[in-house]
Amino acid sequence: MLNPFKRLIDLCWRFLVSPEKYLRHIGVNIGKHCFISTREMTGEPYLITIGNNVQVTRGVAIHCHGGENSIRKEYPDFDAFGKVVIEDWAYIGAFSQIMPGVTIGEGAIVAAGSIVTKSVAPHTVVGGNPARVIGTTEEYIQRNLKYNLHCKGMTKEEKRKFLLSLPDDKFIKK
């Protein structure tokens, strides 16, 4: 049985520190200047490496194993694992699932809600279930450059005032 004091400390780590601090505490290897807003990691967080300047958004889950229980009837001690690597400057969209053994290449973009079952080449945009190549990051930039509003670095209030002052043609439309 788990010591109640240790359980309380674990809960404090899970909910009272930033997601990045929590993930470092449980063993995820994280580079510098990352923005991480998820706490959803596998039971083997030490098999996950996140590079520098990576953004992992809300609800993303990273898995290093899965499905073993259904096999254990025939192979009681079955366990299979895959390391996950997210290279520098990658972006992982909200509620994506990164499966065991996957590498997300440098500068790659994973669209929100994607299920990534295969490694993603550097500077590639993927999305869907299973995730498929949508294009390159350069193509993404070219499609969206006209919508760049240059507001990175503004305070929340400055950004709010600025965005609410703009005409509709300045925003992305689908």
Q: Which residues are catalytic?
A: 65
Taking the CA atoms of the chain, what radius of gyration do you get in angstroms? 19
Burial (CB count within 10 angstroms: exposed 0-12, middle 13-18, buried 19+), residue 156:
exposed
Both tokens of 64, joined, read 């290093």
How many Å apart are CA 48 and CA 84, to the nearest integer? Answer: 5
Q: What tokens appear for 85 in the block?
A: 């690597």
For every residue of 96-133, DSSP letters joined together read -EE-TT-EE-TT-EE-TT-EE-S-B-TTEEEEETTEEE
DSSP codes, 42-102? -S-GGGEEE-TT-EE-TT-EE-S---GGGGTTTSTT------EEE-TT-EE-TT-EE-TT-
